Amino acid sequence: MKEVKIESVLQVYDNLDELPNDIAELMKKAFDARQKSYSPYSNFSVGAALLLNNGKIITGSNQENASYPSGLCAERTAIYYAGSQYPDAKVLKMAITAGSKLKTTVTPIPPCGACRQAIAEYEVKQNAPIEIYFMGETGRVVKSDSLANLLPLVFDKSVL
């Protein structure tokens, strides 16, 4: 038996003002998208914005459903739209902002496990890392250089 240590290195920005301009712009698009969230059940709204290598910015928000599991997270709404509209484009960066409508969310909100798996599919497909930036409504912004950093031991097509 031997132990294996898995490490992830993340960068943490104190607030939006510390972000490079292009990322602050992308995060602003995520904020705009969040306004379009349909989340009457959880009252938790999420916005995501993707920058593609063809220059397009694709946004998405969480879309809920009376049949709860039929709803979809913001990140997957955005990345599936990107994949269906621009199948040959690479996703370079993703910005995510999230928060409750009932209280102010100051902690960075990372993508859920299902979204990490979905984003991983595209990272593997395009063979290039996707930078992920995530935050609450205000406060710190966390950056991951790749999705792989957020989902060690990924299950992907290489085993099929």
Within 10 Å of residue 128's Cβ, how many Cβ atoms? 13
Q: Which residue has the tokens 């063979």?
A: 127
Q: Strand, coil or helix: what is 157?
A: helix
Please confirm, yes or no, whether 121 is among the known catalytic residues. no
Stretch that binds ligand THU, among 4-12, 24-32, 37-45, 82-90 (CB under 6 A): 37-45
Q: Residue 19: CB partners within 8 Å, gap ≥ 6?
A: 13, 27, 133, 141
Q: Decide: is 31 part of the binding site for ligand THU (CB under 6 A).
A: no
* Contact by Cβ (8 Å): 56, 86: yes
Across-strand partners of 131?
93
Among 150, 144, 93, which residue's Cα sits nearest to residue 120?
150
Catalytic residue, chosen from 75, 121, 123, 131, is 75
Nearer to ligand THU, 53 or 71 (CB): 71
Question: Contact between 136 and ligand THU (CB under 6 A)?
Answer: no
Q: Which of 27, 39, 94, 150 binds ligand THU (CB under 6 A)?
A: 39
Q: Is 50 in the site for ligand THU (CB under 6 A)?
A: no
Residues of the shown chain interacting with ligand THU in the complex, contacts defined by CB under 6 A:
39, 42, 44, 46, 62, 64, 71, 73-75, 111-112, 115
Q: Which residues are catalytic?
A: 75
